[in-house]
Amino acid sequence: MSLLVQHRIDTATHAIRLGLDNLLREARTGLDATDQRHLLRRLYDPADGGTGLLPLLAEVLTFVSGAVREWQPNHEAAIEALDEAAAYVADSAGHRINTARNLLTRPAERDWPTPEQAYAKAPSVVSEIGWTARTATNRQLGTESSREFWLRKAALLDRIALDGIAAHSTHDAAELAAEAARRLMDVDDAAVICDPRHYVRQQYALWTTHQ
């Protein structure tokens, strides 16, 4: 049985190595803010019952420790080391990854660009109204709108609301802008503690920088 088990272990670890190589390739290529949070959530997500790669790896180490305890009980130091490794992966490493993911969704105020900074490279409002209308009209029935659509729509409504403030317009424009901003945050799954419109400006500035 030992050779068969070892073969299965080799096959499984090879598949894991291929998967990690793919993750490394994506990380080297560059991950935007949404992709960063998505990857970190796949590594460790306590909100979904502690799922992710790290808890599974910790569980493997825990069962290896149990096997050592059963077959080689005198190796107490090895058992303790494996238990500590499992705890570190699941708790210390996992919780730190979760902390990093949460911090990435809570930008410091100095990271919020002013409207002038955020929309410095933006097309005209008239142009964006046309793009938003065309994109919404051409969307295939039953499909979800892209993140770009929600980002540009939220930015457009924010700009209209800002112009409206200068022109002493009604409260409706500001409410529509806030609603669109919250929709973008839902798309990004961003638990950001800030004004949603600040979030739109930050994300739009990042988006235009990488175009």
pLDDT tens-digit readout, 5-62:
898 989 999 999 999 899 989 988 888 878 888 888 888 887 766 678 888 888 898 9
Position 44 scores a pLDDT of 86
- Please provide residue 45's backbone torsions phi and psi, each rounded to the nearest 5 degrees: -140, 90
Question: pLDDT per residue over 61-84, tens digit each?
Answer: 899 999 999 999 999 999 999 889
In angstroms, the first-to-last Cα distance of the chain is 56
pLDDT of residue 177: 93
What count of other Cβ atoms lies within 10 Å of the Cβ of residue 111?
12
pLDDT at 191 (0 to 100) = 63
Q: What is the pLDDT of residues 87-129, one digit of tens each?
A: 888 778 887 887 777 777 665 666 688 999 999 999 999 999 9
Q: Give strand pairing partners of 45.
A: 51
Please state whether the predicted TM-score (pTM) of the whole model is above 0.75: no
Question: Within a 13 Å sphere around the CA of 87, how many CA atoms are in the beta-carbon half?
Answer: 6
